[in-house]
Each structure stands twice: as structure tokens, then as C-alpha cells.
Amino acid sequence: MIFGRKNIDEVFTPRNPTVNNGMYIPRQALEKGLFRSVTGSMHSFLFGESGTGKSWLYKKVFKDKGINYVIANCASASMKNSITGEIYSVCIPPGTSEKTGYKETKKAGFSAGATAEISHEGEFQIVMKDGLLKSFEELHRKGGGNKSVIVVDNVETIVKNEKLMSELSDIIILLDDERYARCKVKLLIVGVPNEVIRYYSAAKNRSSVGNRIEEIERVTGFDSAQVYDLVERGFNQFLKVKIPELQTRLLSRHIYDVTLGVPQRVHEYCECLAYEIEDNDWLYSNELLEESDKRWLLKGLRECYSTIEKHLNSDETSEGRRNQVIYSLGQHSIHQIDTNKVGEIIRKEFPSTAPESNSGIGQILAHLSKDKNAILHPISNSNYYSITDPRYIMCIRVMLYKEPGTEIVKKKAFKIS
């Protein structure tokens, strides 16, 4: 046991609800934008793909800046069938007693000479304060009278719920009311990008809601330098593996390529690799990457693997055009793609078998968008498609490769059953 080496589950924490400060990678532009937005005059909308680190981002910023906040989870609100109920539950401590009424005792007098008294009680109900207002007042009190934030997280889970979306719109508008505004409460709405447009289109009083919400810059994955920072910090500083700098750079590039830099996926992959290194007496070698690829794929991409496998041609197909198209999707890092771009990639990657025109590619893309678990989604009124889930790109990059010298697309023989 090397002195100072941390446990693997302390270093790589892919779904840790609390911020792992030692492994937090600063994103200054996003942090500055978030802080300026929540301290401004409008409510804020923070969005990014699942796993890009939205939660760690706002938790880190709010802690560093001393901002009082609570998190209202829309998934919980959906179960309660009330956003107000969820806000109340996170603002008012469980078990808090409330006075709902009082009793008044009156004594009845008797005629002269009577020695007994008869008393009766009258019930008087106290009008209950608005639950939302009470929540804001409690949050205001805990914040010492300063501006506080209610994070409305996972908003994508309620976009199709007309009742809850209407309630959220009412709350946004209501916060301008003088009774509520004096509590200095801001909303930070957090969700995935595909649902942003749907949110606005589904919201009641769209213009009124839109005029009160500011979209913050989209949260994306790490760039290659940030992945290098995380790999260097995690393996060399905290796990004491001591990987040479050149190998660290090659390793971080591989991790960046297969995970697209998505923070959660980077942590997942590094966790798998760390256990491989531990089993190898804490010695790193490039040979460990193939096993790490497999373990990482089976851990979170099993369903994607099965879907892609169903779309592949058999190895016996002469040109395997469909395989080339699917392989090309994995080489494209932008969210949208069309026939022309796929044709360009095929001509670059498969020069000896590439078609002179893009004939047939469009039909293959259309086919990949019609399956029950479609890889692609057609974009309305255009020739473009979007990847339905970034995990498909990650999976393609791990499972498919070009056979050296033949340009044939091969599938790595991972047993997933």
C-alpha cells in the first residue's frame, strides 16, 4: 500500500450527488455566466446533455459564492403531482409544527347561589398562509435576507405534463408579484437541451414566461485539455500510478475520443481503467485499454451495443456500405449530420471502396431513423439528422474499427449477454 494513495471510489465518482472537490475541473466561462445570471434580474435556464456536469457546476458555484439554495426535483414533483408541494417539502423542514387554530374557553354564569360553572370551547380556524409564499419566506429567512435560489432540476421529466408545466409558468410569473418578490427568490431551471424548445412551446403564456427567463450558455463536455487534467490528477496525483507524461497524453486522448469528453462518462471510463490497473499491481500498460473499453461498454452502453449490432451488415458483405455509414457516424462529433457529410467521411476513411456519388447513403440514414430504438432522428424541414443519444457515438467508437489493409469495418467481439 503506497502512502497517500486514495481509494478508487474516492477519486472517480461518476454519479456522486455531492461535488468531488479534488476532481472538479473548473469551467470558468460557464461558472461566471451562471453566477452573473442568478444574481441578475431574470430567472435562469441551465441546459446540457445528461452527464455534462450541470449539477456539479451549480453546486460548486453556489457554495463558492455563498448563495443560499435548495433543489426541487421535477421527478419528485411529478410523483407529488405538484411543483409547489415539492418546493414546500425542500424549504420547510420535515416535522415542522404549524398552528392551525386555537380554542377559546368561556365560563357560563348561573343564578345567585349557584356554585358550579359550566365551560364550553369554541374552535377558531386560522387561515393558512399560501404554501408557496411560506416556502419563499422560510428560504428568505435562511438566506439572511439575501437573494436565494430554487433549483428546479430535471425539468425534462415534466415537459409533457400540462398541469405541472402550467404550474411552473404560474410560479415564474408570480415571482414578480410584490408579495413574493420581497423574498428575493430566483429560479434556476435545469434540463437537457432537446427539451428546451419543447419547454417554451409547452409553456402557458409563452411570451410572459420567455421574457422572464435567461438561457445560460449550454453546458457541454470537457475539451481534450480538461480530460488530460482529470486523468493526470486522478491517476498520477491521487492514485499514485505514475504514468509517464507521453503515455498520459495518449491515454487521455483515447478517453476523450471514446467518451466525447462527457464528464460522467469520463469518470466511468477512468473508474473501469483504475480497477484494471489495481488488478495489475498498480502498473499501467496500453494493453489494459482494450479490457477497459469492454468493461466500460458493458457498464453503460449495453443497450446501444445491441441496437448498433442489429443494423450492421455481415462481414461477408463485399463493401459493407451500411457498416461504413455507421462507422462514419462515430467519426462525426457534431450533433447534426447529413448525406453529404457522411459521403465526405466515407471517401476519406474508405478511399478504395467509396462510391463516386452519395447514392444509397440517404436511404441508409433514413433506415437508421426508423427503427424502434432509432440511432438517428430526422430534423423537420431539412435533410439533416441528429443523433438520438450521444452514447451511440461513444459505442460506435469503442465497438467498430477498420481492419488494417482492407478497409473492412469490423466489430470487436465483446460478449454482452
Is the pLDDT score of 396 beyond 50? yes
Strands 185-191 and 400-402: unpaired
What's the mean pLDDT when you consider all of the chain?
A: 86
Structure confidence at residue 7 as a pLDDT band (50, 70, 90): very high
* pLDDT at residue 207, rounded to an integer: 67
Contacts of 211 (CB under 8 A, 6+ apart): none
Mean pLDDT on 113-122: 52
Q: Which tens digits make up the pLDDT trace of 254-306? A: 999 999 999 999 999 999 999 999 999 999 999 999 999 999 988 888 888 88
* pLDDT at residue 238, rounded to an integer: 97
Mean pLDDT on 237-258: 96
Q: Which tens digits make up the pLDDT trace of 24-55? A: 999 999 999 999 999 999 999 999 988 999 99
Give the neighbor-by-neighbor strand order of the sheet with 213-215. Answer: 68-73, 148-153, 185-191, 43-47, 213-215
* pLDDT at residue 126, rounded to an integer: 38
Q: What is the SS3 assignment for 65-116?
A: HCCEEEEEEHHHHHHHCCHHHHHHHHHCCCCCCCCCEEEEEEEECCCCCCCC
Nearest-angstrom CA–CA distance, 217 and 226:
18
The Cα-based distances of 86 to 52, 72, 131, 181, 191 in angstroms read 25, 6, 11, 20, 17
* pLDDT at residue 298, rounded to an integer: 85
* pLDDT at residue 369, rounded to an integer: 92
Structure confidence at residue 146 as a pLDDT band (50, 70, 90): very high
Give the neighbor-by-neighbor strand order of the sheet with 376-378. Answer: 336-337, 385-387, 376-378
* pLDDT at residue 412, rounded to an integer: 82
Question: By percentage, how much of the chain surpasses pLDDT 70?
Answer: 85
Q: What is the SS3 assignment for the chain?
A: CCCCCCCHHHHCCCCCCCCCHHHCCCCHHHHHHHHHHHCCCCEEEEEECCCCCHHHHHHHHHHHHCCEEEEEEHHHHHHHCCHHHHHHHHHCCCCCCCCCEEEEEEEECCCCCCCCCEEEEEEEECCCCCHHHHHHHHHHHHCCCCCEEEEEECHHHCCCCHHHHHHHHHHHHHCCCHHHHCCCEEEEEEECHHHHHHHHHHCCCHHHHHCCEEECCCECCCCHHHHHHHHHHHHHHHCCCCCCHHHHHHHHHHHHHHHCCCHHHHHHHHHHHHHHHHHCCCCCCCCHHHHHHHHHHHHHCHHHHHHHHHHCCCCCCCCCHHHHHHHHHHHCCCCEECHHHHHHHHHHHCCCCCCCCCCCHHHHHHHHCCCCCCCEEECCCCCCEEECCHHHHHHHHHHEEECCCCCCEEECCCCCC
Task: Assess contact for 157 and 74: CB atoms under 8 A.
Answer: yes
* pLDDT at residue 318, rounded to an integer: 47
Mean pLDDT on 204-212: 73
Nearest-angstrom CA–CA distance, 156 and 302:
24
The Cα-based distances of 313 to 131, 303, 324, 354 in angstroms read 59, 18, 10, 16
Residue 122's CB: how many other CB atoms inside 10 A?
9
Check: pTM over 0.85? Answer yes or no.
no
